[in-house]
Amino acid sequence: MSELQSLYLIFALFYLAECLVWVRSRGVLFFSPWGRTWRFKEPDQLFGNQNGGFWFGNPLPDLGYLQQGFFLPVCLTPTTLSTVDVHTGQLPAETVRRVSLDAIETVQRDGLSLIINQDFKIRAGNEHCARQLFRFLQDFRKVPEGERLAALEAFYQGRFHTGTIEERLADLRRHGLPLRILANLLWFFLFLITPALTLLMPLETLLFPWLTAYAVLHLATLGTFWIAYRRLHEGAAREGLYGALFKILFFTPGLIRAGDLLALPLLTTYHPLAIALAVDPQQSSTGFARRYLLRLKFPLGEDRWDAESREEAQWFRAWLLARCEALLTQKGLAPARLLLPDNLDEGSLSYCPRCLTAYQVVRGECAECPGIQLVQPQHQGERS
């Protein structure tokens, strides 16, 4: 293998590494590989650990986008803030930290982390989410207890606002399309045209025209990214612009994936369910909505908590479930139907109400969901 071929192989490996997307814990990744059908992935469906998982994006040129949403890392009630997790569906940690809202004296932000009263640290999914939660807690702790429920309602109403999400997606398609086209042209130039030219022409003859064409494509893509980012991200959200530019300025594999850098931060301050319903109301959204509703309805492992933590989790989960069901109904989906299995074989005598796995026994506990008892189909509509 020649030195040029070795360098080209290293470049290709760097590009493949850029196709990896890290999905943090409490994050949900939505993707449309070819710009049509949307799908979703959560960290527990990916290769990773308790902090998140890796997803390998489409390495071929495409016009699709990645979107990411995050669940908040806290459980909020009108009186307390705690680290109770009602969102991810994983077995919860045995230790729960909490603080009374009236006892919160200081809230500070350090990157992804929020520090309450100097010693209570919580970590958000990204800086946009951390900034949103920081601003909310700064105001929420000062609200009189009798008005906190209304403040919580208003906060989540913003996180559930599918109309705003749809507008932002339309802006992304409009402002992001030129960037996608240029990034794809850069991909074709480097991975198809360049190898073909090296086979047809001597390197000495090819070098100057190649460098000229590459510089034009590189600068055009970089400038288009700058313009699109400033149009799509306003105010504090622009803080990530210079970091993104530094990453792609001299790193061509990153520049080819600049469309992902543009799109990924766009919706991270919205609830994942609202993003799912905005990107695809009838397909990936239905799958995610079912998965999320079942987690809220049938939690795991709450018996390991103390009574106060269980009470907080039950209140917040019921409050959140009611708002999710209202949003689904507004979008034309039937929440009650999502809680039932689509089809049950004739030999199935029961199913798990949480994961909807069918069983050929009448009673028992689900093998995949510790502590969840099997239930029997109540009517023929639950059978195939």
pLDDT value for 381:
43
Q: Are 135 and 240 in contact (CB under 8 A)?
A: no
pLDDT value for 324:
94
Encode the chain (384 residues) as per-residue pLDDT tens digits: 678 788 889 999 999 999 999 998 889 999 887 767 788 888 877 787 878 889 888 888 776 788 999 999 999 999 999 988 888 877 767 678 889 999 999 999 998 999 999 889 999 988 889 999 999 999 999 999 999 999 999 999 999 999 999 999 999 999 999 999 999 999 999 999 998 988 888 888 888 999 999 999 999 999 999 999 999 987 655 667 888 888 898 899 999 999 999 998 899 999 999 999 998 776 555 688 899 999 999 998 887 788 888 899 899 999 999 999 999 999 888 899 888 888 777 778 899 999 898 998 988 999 988 889 999 887 544 444
Q: Which ranges of the chain would DSSP assign to H, the alpha helix?
A: 3-18, 127-140, 148-159, 162-188, 194-200, 203-232, 240-249, 252-256, 258-263, 272-279, 284-297, 307-330, 335-338
Q: Are 41 and 28 in contact (CB under 8 A)?
A: yes
CA distances from 298 to 134, 181, 265, 340 (A): 30, 45, 31, 13
User: How many helices and strands (H and E) does the chain possess?
Assistant: 13, 14
- The model carries a pTM of 0.88
Say how far apart CA 19 and CA 7 lie, in whole Å: 19
pLDDT value for 349:
87
pLDDT value for 384:
41
pLDDT value for 1:
66
Quote the tokens at residue 378: 């109540």
pLDDT value for 236:
55
Say how far apart CA 50 and CA 308 lie, in whole Å: 25
* DSSP state string for 129-180: HHHHHHHHHHHHTTS-GGGHHHHHHHHHHHHT-HHHHHHHHHHHHHHHHHHH
pLDDT value for 70:
94
**195-251 pLDDT per residue, tens:** 898 888 888 888 899 999 999 999 999 999 999 999 998 765 566 788 888 889 889
pLDDT value for 285:
55
* Amino acid, single-letter form, for residue 367: A
* Amino acid, single-letter form, for residue 90: Q
Q: Are 268 and 126 in contact (CB under 8 A)?
A: yes
pLDDT value for 342:
82
Residues 6+ apart with CB under 8 A from 59: 15, 16, 19
CA distances from 91 to 42, 94, 370 (A): 15, 9, 9
Strand, helix or coil at 308?
Answer: helix
Type and span of the H or E element at 354: none
Count Cβ atoms within 10 A of the Cβ of residue 229 and give its class: 0-12 exposed, 13-18 middle, 19 or more buried: buried
